[in-house]
Chain A
Amino acid sequence: MNVNSTQPLEYSTEQNRLNILGFWIFLGCEIMLFATLFTSYFIYENRTGSGPAGAEIFEITPVLIETILLLTSSFTIGLAVNAMRLGRTKAMLGFLAVTLVLGAGFLSVEIYEFIHYYHVGATLQTSAFTGMLLTTLGTHGAHVAFGLFWGLFIFLQIKKQGLTPQTANKSFIFSLYWHFLDVMWIFIFSFIYLKGMM
């Protein structure tokens, strides 16, 4: 392995640079994945059949809590990468742990929200609108859930192996993923919830 010490650890090997670029292109794919979900959501938005409309079931409080949690977690994972570049392994692990806890908090509120939808009679099988709403939110939630496991594995690996070019690379890519989920949530927050409640 040729390690280039003039660059941050996550960019230090050729394979690392390939991985990071590859992940960016994967995020390009994810943009289209969510764009398709949004397309479908906007088309089904007013096709509520006999089920409720968005304004009738959305609640501002849980949505706001979710937004704050995810925005903060996006901030802390950014700090984790910063700490990693300073070589502060302990601080990095701390920020990573905070991120994962906030992510778990987000997911719990989202689960609460889903239960609420179930109780007010908005399920996958209610109408095309509620189905699409839950599919879009569910896809984002599944991404977050996957991210929690991924982040946990990276945490364990750094604990075991320390900050190596490999683990630094994984952490940086994980941070890209996590920020991206935040960006997608901003769009969900703006164009599903706020637009629906306006």
Chain B
Amino acid sequence: MRELFPMKQVNGFIFSLLLTVIALSVYFLDMSFELGITILLITAFVQAGVQLIIFMHAGEGEDSKTIYTTLYYGVFIALATVFGSLLAMVWGYF
């Protein structure tokens, strides 16, 4: 039975629940927008990393370099799209 619940995954699950609780603090505690969004950014990206490395086995296998390149490339372009668009459509009018 033990082998069906490896420590790595159980710990990963507990850690991801913990991250959720930390993220929830922005709702239950009173804090500034800047602090709140910083907490959310950190918990969300750490959470994504936990999923990718522990659960999705991104680092194993012969193609891990390609997989990481794809992810970095995708995240870079995704962020460029989000912030570039915000600059163009919301922030950039001065």
Q: Do chains A and B touch in the complex (CB under 8 A)?
A: yes
Q: For chain A, residues 131 to 179, give those with C-beta under 8 angstroms from any C-beta of chain B.
A: 175-176, 179
CB of A183 within 8 Å of the partner chain: yes
CB of A1 within 8 Å of the partner chain: no
Q: Given the complex, which residues of B lie within 8 Å of A28, measured CB to CB?
A: 70-71, 73-74
Q: Given the complex, which residues of A lie within 8 Å of B6, measured CB to CB?
A: 82
Measured in the bound complex, the distance between the Cα atoms of B5 and A86 in whole Å is 11
CB of A101 within 8 Å of the partner chain: no
Bin the interface of chain A by size: 35 or more
Given A21-B67, A74-B16, A187-B48, 13 new contacts (CB under 8 A): A21-B66, A27-B70, A28-B70, A28-B74, A32-B74, A39-B86, A42-B85, A43-B90, A186-B51, A189-B20, A190-B40, A198-B36, A198-B37
The secondary-structure label for the interface of chain A is helix
Q: Given the complex, which residues of A lie within 8 Å of B48, measured CB to CB?
A: 183, 186-187
Given contacts A32-B81, A43-B90, contact A11 B61 (CB under 8 A): yes
Measured in the bound complex, the distance between the Cα atoms of B18 and A36 in whole Å is 29
Closest-by-CB residue of B relative to A189 is B23
- Contact among A11, A71, A175, A190 for B17, CB-based, below 8 A: A71
Measured in the bound complex, the distance between the Cα atoms of B26 and A197 in whole Å is 9
Total A-B pairs, Cβ < 8 A: 129
B81 & A39 in contact (Cβ 8 Å cutoff): yes
Measured in the bound complex, the distance between the Cα atoms of B9 and A20 in whole Å is 21
CB of B27 within 8 Å of the partner chain: yes
Measured in the bound complex, the distance between the Cα atoms of B52 and A160 in whole Å is 31
Measured in the bound complex, the distance between the Cα atoms of B83 and A42 in whole Å is 10
B4 & A190 in contact (Cβ 8 Å cutoff): no
Encoded as 1 (CB less than 8 Å from any B CB) or 0, chain A from 81 to 123 comes to 1110010100100000000000000000000000000000000
Residue contacts A-B, CB under 8 angstroms, 20 given: A17-B62, A17-B63, A24-B70, A28-B71, A31-B78, A71-B13, A71-B16, A71-B17, A72-B13, A75-B13, A75-B16, A88-B4, A175-B55, A183-B47, A183-B48, A189-B23, A190-B44, A194-B36, A194-B40, A195-B37
